[in-house]
Amino acid sequence: MSQKYDLMKRFRAHQRGVEEPSEKSLARRELADQLRGLLHAIGSSHATSQEMREIAGELRKQREVLTAASESKAPSVATEPARVPGMADFHDRSPVAGRANPVAPPATLGVDPDAEIVVGEVTFGTAFEGVPGCVHGGFVAAVLDEALGMASAFSGTTCMTAELTTRYRRHTPVSTALRIEARLVSTDGRKVQTTGEVYHGDVVVAEGIGLFFVVDAAKFERLVAARSEKTAVSAAIPRRKKAD
């Protein structure tokens, strides 16, 4: 199997995971979307203290429902077959691009295997605000890291970030559609370098240079397996109930 064929297969598997989610993934995305909206609403809401406490009480009840469901049934690969072995819903959990992760903006990232470029969009809500009206730089760097990491896959290998350099050219506005681009620059043994930008319109607001180290496929599979095992064990451990 050629490296190019294998790369195309990996990217297509990623796209299927994004565009053809399971029913449970769709439900997770719907729940995460509502929680994400709540995160943004908290900072700008003029609700009274009493109203906020009442909402907090309702959320506490719903959290207990989710927690009880986690404890009653450990996750099983058989119930949600992975399109990529051991990677079921992996991208949906991303804190940057995961549509099932309420802390993600989320960024929408795609790949063009022929042009060998990662392209995407992101809109940061007010929950990501640092200086008034501007996105906190740490979140801008996180989006660049995600895009640069995807671009490292054009090397035909699995990589992890070793170094990320971010240069902020302009302030990055909140609640504004931004464009993302990233590409592979070079490979040197286990070292892979990528570059990328975040644009507001046609203006570059941030640039990133990523240095990645190739991770042995077997080691990466062990990391995935360890995470799955830890999740299963955590779900199986009963939590102590609060005293009345």
Spatial neighbors of 169 by CB under 8 A, at least 6 apart, are: 203, 204, 205, 206, 207
- For residue 114, what pLDDT is reported? 81
pLDDT one-digit tens code per residue, 33-64: 999 889 888 888 899 999 999 999 999 999 89
The mean-pLDDT minimum among 19-23, 82-86, 163-167 falls in 82-86
Distances in whole angstroms, Cα of residue 186 to Cα of each of 31, 153, 167, 183: 40, 12, 20, 10
User: Residue 16 — very low, low, confident or very high, per pLDDT cuts 50/70/90?
Assistant: low
Most confidently modeled of 19-28, 169-178, 227-236?
Answer: 169-178
CA atoms within 13 A on the CB side of 209: 5
- For residue 241, what pLDDT is reported? 53
Whether residue 8 is predicted with pLDDT greater than 50 in this model: the reply is: yes
pLDDT one-digit tens code per residue, 227-244: 766 655 554 445 555 544
User: Residue 218 — very low, low, confident or very high, per pLDDT cuts 50/70/90?
Assistant: confident
- The pTM (predicted TM-score) of the whole model is 0.78
- Pick 187 or 230 by higher pLDDT: 187
Whether residue 76 is predicted with pLDDT greater than 50 in this model: the reply is: no
- What value does the mean pLDDT of the chain take? 83
Tell which CATH classification among 3.40.50.1980, 3.30.420.270, 3.30.43.10, 3.10.129.10 matches the domain 3-59+75-221: 3.10.129.10
pLDDT one-digit tens code per residue, 91-144: 788 999 999 999 999 999 998 878 889 999 999 999 999 999 999 999 999 999
Percent of the chain whose predicted confidence (pLDDT) is above 70: 76
- For residue 226, what pLDDT is reported? 78
Mean pLDDT over residues 2-10, rounded?
57
- For residue 7, what pLDDT is reported? 59
Whether residue 81 is predicted with pLDDT greater than 50 in this model: the reply is: no
- For residue 113, what pLDDT is reported? 79
